[in-house]
Structure 1
């Protein structure tokens, strides 16, 4: 089975011991032929429970372009790095891919039709507003 060498965008969320943790995570990605697209500013956070005997960490997010085959190796290397407490690699959300496809279809002139199930009423129909007086009359009729 042939592996794809096409790079994809991933979001890497991580908690590090110090502010230098961003450099450690980015270095791991670059060693595996990745490139950093964007890095968010680190935030100091209190951890809910100690991780590797640390109660405070620095939370950061980086967006990188990586080959899918390198993800496992990056995760393993991050586990061995003393600076990185936790790391999570997430692929680009599917809804963004779907949104791009819809945008591309609209540019080409294709707009999919939506069918209503027949039992639901359209949201554009306005319902008649009921006043307090009408509600009181109905209550009197019901209660006697």
Structure 2
């Protein structure tokens, strides 16, 4: 996963100003000049994660450092201007959403069935994670 073509698609979706191969990872910079925001996105296609190897997604912003270990897939939405990276276990999913506007959101350890639920049953704080990760629902269904 995360071929050069995948990273080019991510770069185009996010409007990243640069994309550089750093030997073991890709480094992309996303800048939103009007709001004076920027972030750096690093994509490690295959790195050591404890006793196993896997994909690692890292986001650096002026106020946060986020990591998604064992990334199992991504969905790039040019229409929304965002890329959703996902990691999953049998019962849980996590997602890191990176936006063209140099913003990001992390949804961690979500019950897998939430993304297929009737979102109107939940409070806004729960509904947001379900809606955000529902974009990647096809990735999960492909593995079921």
TM-score range, shorter chain: under 0.3
Give the TM-score normalised by the residue count of structure 1. Answer: 0.22
Higher RCO (C-alpha 8 Å, min separation 6): 1
Structure having the higher strand fraction is: 2
Higher helix share: 1
The structure having more radius of gyration, on CA atoms, is 1
